Amino acid sequence: MRTLLFPALLGLLAACHTPDAQHAPPTTAPTAAVTAPEETLEARQERGRYLVEIMGCNDCHSPKLMGPTGPYPDPGRLLSGHPAAQALPAVPKEALKDWALFAMGNTATVGPWGVSYAANITSDASGIGNWSEEQFANAMRKGWWKGLEGSRPLLPPMPWPNFTRMPDPDISAIYAYLMSTTPVENVVPAPVPPDQL
The contact set with ligand HEC (CB under 6 A) reads 52, 55-57, 59-61, 116, 118-119, 121, 128, 139, 145-146, 154-155, 157-159, 174, 191
Residue 107 C-beta: closest distance to ligand HEC, Å = 8
- Measured from the CB atom, is 2 or 165 closer to ligand HEC? 165
CA-based nearest residue to 160, from 180, 152, 191: 152
Residue 91 C-beta: closest distance to ligand HEC, Å = 16
Count other Cβ atoms within 10 Å, centred on residue 124.
19
- Measured from the CB atom, is 54 or 90 closer to ligand HEC? 54
- Measured from the CB atom, is 80 or 116 closer to ligand HEC? 116
Residue 68 C-beta: closest distance to ligand HEC, Å = 24
Residue 16 C-beta: closest distance to ligand HEC, Å = 42
- Beta-carbon contacts of 28 under 8 Å, excluding residues fewer than 6 positions away, are none
Dist. CA 116–CA 134, nearest whole Å: 24
Dist. CA 113–CA 91, nearest whole Å: 13
- Measured from the CB atom, is 46 or 59 closer to ligand HEC? 59
Q: Is the dihedral of CA 188, 194, 196, 197 positive or negative?
A: positive
Residue 165 C-beta: closest distance to ligand HEC, Å = 13
CA distances from 95 to 91, 99, 112, 157, 159 (A): 8, 6, 12, 18, 23
- Measured from the CB atom, is 3 or 196 closer to ligand HEC? 196
Sort 62 into a burial class: Cβ within 10 Å, 0-12 / 13-18 / 19+: buried
